[in-house]
Amino acid sequence: MKYKEIFMKRAIQLAKYGLGLTSPNPMVGCVIERNGIILSEGWHYKKEMYHAEFLAINNIKDECLLFNCTLYVTLEPCVHFGETPPCVDLIIKKNIPRVVVGIQDPCDKVKGLGIKKLKKYGIEVIENVLMDKCRILNKRFFTFYEKNRPYIILKWAQSNDGFIYSENIKDNRISGIHARQLNHKWRSEEDGILVGRKTVLNDNPKLNVRKWFGKNPVRIFIDQKLSISNSHFILDGSQYTIVFTEKQKKNQENIEYIQISFEKKIINQILNFLHKKKILSLIVEGGKKTLENFIQENIWDECRTFICDVVLKSGLKAPEITEIKGIVSKKMNLNKDQLIIKLNYQFKN
């Protein structure tokens, strides 16, 4: 079993192919190995499709090869019937003698029951191999089940002198083309994207994926008095949109109006609703007040900030996450822009 970390790393690589496609399911990768040689691989590449273990097992036509093999999987195999049959039952049926599991599933329907059943049928189970990496792989999934809310990514672009908006710039764009393309890639990877009313009024954003290939996120915005007119892109019905408001309004095609109380903490109400909708991850793109609400409440997991090669001298100051609250996990340059990614100290891995 000296190769177990090598094969688990490969399973993690495979799982990442499902990024942005598997939600509300986790990303899962599977490798079947015998005598140091990979016999088969699989990953869960889309929700409602077969799981990684099923694909890896069924790729092997000669079942004799399964004798004395080891199955590596990034997340505990499922034990319940959902959109597909339980992977645990298939592993038992095929007489696979050993299973190496990256991390236990946090969902109550599984949560150790898959491992328990494998052991009950005499299968050797090795647990928690590269556990931290497997947890980071499914940070959205774990946050959803452990904190009962989506994984929250704060994102904004600011000038070199710390402003996010100025009347001195046209179309409100300060980041370069590479940063904007990366931002659209991020959108394709997450379930939802949230903005406030002023951002809609100032920028008239489409909040879709135009500069990348992939699915559009659910558009979400806050409009207390329903002051945004149908002439704005966000209400064009081109993709599913959720509007949080204090008023009652009948749903329209692809647009759902959710009435909440603005006398209570609106963030908690929004996140509770998104949790019920099984939205596992959320990008918060603005504006300043909306971003600062999440920061002040300390309800965020990751912050992605572009420091752009422009000086505005005046305007709307960018939000700030102090060193006390956020730890820098990554810095990189995209042409003339710099990307800084911070993790919430409270939730860092």
Which residues are the active-site residues? 53
51: tokens are 């799981």
Strand partners of residue 156: 305
* d(C-alpha 138, C-alpha 141), whole Å: 5
* Listed residue (274, 323, 276) closest to 303, CA to CA: 323
The residue with tokens 């710039």 is: 169
The answer to whether 154 touches 186, Cβ cutoff 8 Å, is no
Q: CB–CB of 96/66 below 8 Å?
A: yes
> What is the rounded CA–CA span in Å between residue 192 and residue 280?
8
For 331, other C-beta atoms within 10 Å of its C-beta total 10
Q: How many C-alpha atoms does 30 have within 13 Å on its Cβ side?
A: 26
C-alpha torsion angle, residues 159, 162, 165, 166 (rounded to 10): -90
Please count the helices (runs of H) and the strands (runs of E) in the chain. 10, 16
